[in-house]
Amino acid sequence: MAVGKEEVEEIVKARTDKREYRRIVLPNSLEVLLISDPDTDKCAASMDVSVGAFSDPDGLEGLAHFLEHMLFYASEKYPLEDSYSKYIIEHGGRTNAYTSSEHTNYYFDINADAFEEALDRFAQFFINPLMSADATMREIKAVDSENQKNLLSDGWRMNQLQKHLSAADHPYHKFSTGNWDTLEVRPKAKGLDTRSELIKFYEEYYSANVMHLVIYGKENLDKIQGLVEDKFKEIRNIDRNCLRFAGEPCTSEHLQILVRAVPIKEGHALRVVWPITPEIHHYKEGPCRYLSHLIGHEGEGSLYSILKTLGWATGLSAGEGDSSLDFSFFRVDIVLTDAGHEHMQDIIGLLFKYISLLQQSGICKWIFDELSAVCETKFHYQDKIQPINYVVSISPNMQKYPPKDWLVRSSLPSNFSTDIIQMVLNKLSPNNVRFYQAKYPVLLRKSPYSTLWHKPDTMFFTPKAYVKIVFTCPHASDSPEAEVLTNIFTQLLMDYLNEFAYYAEVAGLNYGISATECGFQVILVGYNHKLRILLETIVEKITSFEVKADRFSVIKEMVTKEYQNYKFQQPYEQAMYYCSLILQDHTWPWMEELDVLPHLEVEDLAKFVPMMLSRAFLECYTAGNLERNEAESMIQHIEDALFRGSNPICQPLFPSQHLTNRVLKLEKGKSYFYPVEGLNPSDENSALIHYIQVHRDDFMLNVKLQLFALIAKQPAFHQLRTVEQLGYITALLQRNDCGIRGAQFIIQSTVKDPANIDLRAEEFLKVFESKLYEMTNEEFKSNVNALIDMKLEKHKNLREEASFYWREISDGTLKFDRIESEIAALRQLTQQELIDFFNEHIKVGAPHKRTLSVRVYGNSHSSEYKIDKSSPAQASSVKIDDIFSFRRSQPLYGSFKGNHVKL
């Protein structure tokens, strides 16, 4: 085919549009739209390739998207990696790309005087791209990172959910983005080389005859045409047919369903979706535009006006979405208030009543004519948009529309057809629909025997429940022997229940019984149908507990091995243990518990259990698919079994017996350190916990600490592990002990002893201080937004949600709105406030700073241990020789436990 102007009808453009347009087809069959705009400051180009994620090979989901990433790297003519992007940016431009179901689009803009070279660089991606082996692994990680970002986006998540709930044999069902698993792990397991498959995909699908190019230049059309002919003529043409994907993605089994989804962001939304005939086949008749105009109307008497008056909605939109040549969907999205969320079924009913009213009223020509006139005015008097946005809006549609309508597309409905509009309206029926939709625990009851917290399920909507009952028994933790016997008691209970509970676990109902710091706990999670039966069986085993000698010896042996294995823990785990032992009041060392174990016999446990249970208090938490009256009934049954009857096994606690978890309050301006030898003499590793105690739970102080930890985490890892090579285990983390907040370095090393590592951690903080001052306002805001995004991540399951709320109950903080309150505090936080916080609490040498260093010396640093142990402490530094003497000499933070809570 000769190069030149194609003899087609004139391209329709707006009356106010002074730009010139020309369609050409190169000899390689590349179809191009040239746009000349002498007034433009920027030039732009968009290349649309008619292949996308639908063409991904099975087992290589995301390959088309990965190819989009790889093409940008380099070409044979311009082999320097990222030189294209660098050139664009250095000349005032932008560049990007996207992959959709059936298209991949590449685009850029740039200053006019640099357009020719930019175009040459751009064209080479479609002529001789390099796709080097070196870049492959890096870009797979980039794709994975992009997917990780999308996991926190409600739009991406809802889009993937819509796809997932479709026919598995239709390409619409595919996961289009790709990640590390789909592009590296799974292909490798199948013996596939991703780069080889990538090159194969490019060679099979990238052909000039399925590409469409839009060029927006400052020169006249002839000069632009000459430029295009020169730069793009070498793109190969293999006469590839544009792929079609016939068939509907949603069959009858995927319709008439309600899908509840948990959003990342706060709020409620209702989405109603119908599969319809794609409007592209009737774009002059505009059936979707007609119906979206009415259903999305916001005037008096409209559906939205009613929902707004009722206080149920704050937004409503309607229209076609997810369309292709072969299938499409009509969508209604409603933003709900909390009250609207409670009346979701009523809202759906009103929507279908409105659609029914449209059916009864018939298709009105006057409405179509009015809409057509509005659309015509809007098109002909539209404002100019940036060239990069303009070319991207045109190129994907060049395959779908005839050239004369490339600019108009479906924006000018002109052919009134009752039949075609009615055909789409008929699709919007209850038989053809699917719905999408997305707060705190309350204290239900409080008695001398128990408290019951209940959290109704507003997120997961599954037939599952979570029940946690913590038995607070003061006698369970009043000595090392008592703690060991409590541990044996709980493991014997599990042993006795094993055969009965096994069938429950097979049926999806799991349980666990374990010792706690001041008693023991029972947890049940799973399908709620038979949960109460299992719970009552556990309670019956507790009330009728007897020690079986043969099982006692087995469990005792198992428990003994568990205690003996503590000395084989990693040194950093030992350091964490010692840190907790120092900080937390009312804890016994495992060494003392191991010492008493050999002397314990059946008779000791038989005497101990009745005494342990003689005084008890139950803290209960229920959540999920449980009505409040059912939860109350279960706890009432447990109270009756334990505390009532002619000879109850339990009595309520005396007021003085209610235990609280309290934490040592380190003295301001002091640095404490505890040197100790590792428990395993064969372990060469040493470890350090460098703990900085900061504050008692407070929303604003919390977010300052969290933001510091977020900003410092990666630099600490880079400096201490990557640069200084101190050790594989290197981390800077927040720490929370019963509501007392702080930060801690955790480092395990063979190359340096703990005292030296301690100095390196402090040296890092000195260097980091300058980075905190040098941080730009944009970097500060970016980190704040990143922390907000992390906080907005929803709980993934019932157990995770329960863990969050139980922490508030267990610590006594009861700040169930913690996420919302801390986000609000973050939004008010300034960079100077963060710096002030660092200077007061974290900065080396700060007069109010409080630190504790736990130094575990491995075998390779035994000589350094002797020096550290015997050397006198320096000024403002306190060596801890005996943990328990130190613990008894220090003040304690007040406990949050015992806060007054209304029922």
Residue 394 included in any domain: no
pLDDT at 811 over 50: yes
- Nearest to 135, CA basis, from 82, 183, 59: 82
pLDDT at 258 over 70: no
The Cα 361–Cα 295 span in angstroms is 14
Is residue 3 very low, low, confident or very high in pLDDT (cuts 50, 70, 90)? very low
Tokens of 649: 């096994």
Picking from 657, 678, 712, the residue at the C-terminal end of a domain is: 657
The Cα 730–Cα 722 span in angstroms is 10
Which residues are known catalytic residues?
A: 68, 139
In this structure, are residues 547 and 612 in contact, taking their beta carbons and an 8 Å threshold? no
pLDDT at 6 over 50: no
- Nearest to 692, CA basis, from 738, 741, 737: 741
Residue 4 included in any domain: no
Is residue 45 very low, low, confident or very high in pLDDT (cuts 50, 70, 90)? very high
Residue 498 has a CB neighbour count (10 Å cut-off) of: 10
pLDDT, averaged across the chain: 90
Residue 393 included in any domain: no
Picking from 657, 686, 706, the residue at the C-terminal end of a domain is: 657
Give residues with Cβ within 8 angstroms of 458, minimum separation 6: 439
Is residue 500 very low, low, confident or very high in pLDDT (cuts 50, 70, 90)? confident
Residue 239 included in any domain: no
The Cα 614–Cα 478 span in angstroms is 14
Total number of domains in the chain: 4
Amino acid 848: pLDDT = 93
Q: Are residues 91 and 175 in the same domain?
A: yes
Tokens of 41: 């400051």
Tokens of 837: 């916080």
Residue 561 has a CB neighbour count (10 Å cut-off) of: 9
Amino acid 147: pLDDT = 86
Is residue 438 very low, low, confident or very high in pLDDT (cuts 50, 70, 90)? very low
Q: Are residues 46 and 190 in the same domain?
A: yes
- Name the residue with tokens 């990780």: 148
Q: Are residues 133 and 265 in the same domain?
A: no
Residue 900 included in any domain: no
The pLDDT of 179-192, averaged and rounded, is: 91
Lowest-pLDDT range, 403-417, 425-439, 579-593, 775-789? 425-439
- CATH code of the domain containing 355: 3.30.830.10
Q: Are residues 306 and 419 in the same domain?
A: yes
Give residues with Cβ within 8 angstroms of 395, minimum separation 6: 33, 46, 47, 48, 105, 107, 212, 213, 214
Residue 476 included in any domain: yes
Q: Are residues 153 and 302 in the same domain?
A: no
Amino acid 725: pLDDT = 93
Give residues with Cβ within 8 angstroms of 419, minimum separation 6: none
pLDDT at 32 over 70: yes
| HSE-up (13 A, CA, CB side) for residue 689 | 28
pLDDT at 436 over 60: no
- One DSSP character per residue, 65-91 reads HHHHHHHTT-BSSS-STTHHHHHHHHT
Picking from 623, 657, 691, the residue at the C-terminal end of a domain is: 657
Amino acid 449: pLDDT = 94
The pLDDT of 1-17, averaged and rounded, is: 68
- Name the residue with tokens 């009615």: 422
Amino acid 261: pLDDT = 59
Residue 15 included in any domain: no
Residue 813 included in any domain: yes
In this structure, are residues 535 and 649 in contact, taking their beta carbons and an 8 Å threshold? no
Is residue 260 very low, low, confident or very high in pLDDT (cuts 50, 70, 90)? low
pLDDT at 558 over 50: yes
Q: Are residues 537 and 566 in the same domain?
A: yes
The pLDDT of 828-839, averaged and rounded, is: 95
Within its chain, how far is the Cα of 98 from the centroid?
Answer: 22
Q: Are residues 496 and 592 in the same domain?
A: yes
Q: Are residues 166 and 72 in the same domain?
A: yes
Q: Are residues 818 and 669 in the same domain?
A: yes
Q: Are residues 421 and 503 in the same domain?
A: no
Mode of pairing for the β-strands spanning 850-857 and 686-696: antiparallel
- Domain assignment of residue 844, given as a range: 663-893
Amino acid 4: pLDDT = 46
Q: Which H or E run includes 320?
A: strand 313-321
Amino acid 72: pLDDT = 81
Adjacent-strand bridge partners of 357:
none
Dihedral sign computed on CA atoms, order 556, 558, 559, 564: positive
Q: Are residues 39 and 186 in the same domain?
A: yes
Q: Are residues 616 and 651 in the same domain?
A: yes
Per-residue pLDDT reduced to its tens digit, 688-732: 999 999 999 999 999 999 999 999 999 999 999 999 999 889 999
Amino acid 794: pLDDT = 84
pLDDT at 900 over 60: no
The pLDDT of 411-420, averaged and rounded, is: 92
The pLDDT of 44-51, averaged and rounded, is: 96
